[in-house]
Amino acid sequence: MMFDFQKLDVYQKAKEFCILITKATSSGTFDRTTNDQLRRASFSIMLNIAESSSRFSSRDRRHFIVIARGSAFECAAIMEYLFDSGEITSDDYNSYFKRLEEISKMLFAVIRKLENNK
């Protein structure tokens, strides 16, 4: 048995990103506030995608996907800060950014589709 959200590619990519962030922050490399905010934001992407699948109307589903996309942007901003402050390498930044960009584009496509289903 699977929940609907588990079938979504964007959910699977968000989950992979969340796991990656959990591993990266578990080393304690970043300060506590950054660790907490990055973990929460990455978790929020995944959880809001899941929650959107439980909603009955396109408008309600869209709302949670918009929140998920906002959390992806939040992660991107944190990554930029970490790169600019020298806490992550260029390779790490590019890897995280590429994943977030893909997730963001996928979420935007879902948002557009849901807008057309109003």
Residues 28-64: tens digit of each pLDDT: 788 999 999 999 999 999 999 999 999 999 999 999 9
Encode burial over 82-92: b for 16+ CB neighbours within 10 A, e otherwise. Answer: bbeeeebeeee
Structure tokens, 117 = 């289903």
pTM for this prediction: 0.94
**pLDDT recorded at residue 118:** 64
Domain that holds residue 47: 4-116
Alpha-carbon span 36 to 23, nearest angstrom: 13
Give the CATH number, domain containing residue 73.
1.20.1440.60
Q: What pLDDT band is residue 117 in, cutting at 50, 70 and 90?
A: confident
Residue 22 has φ and ψ, to the nearest 5°, of -60, -45
Q: Tens of pLDDT along 65-111?
A: 999 999 999 999 999 999 999 999 999 999 999 999 999 999 999 99
Total domains in the fold of the chain:
1
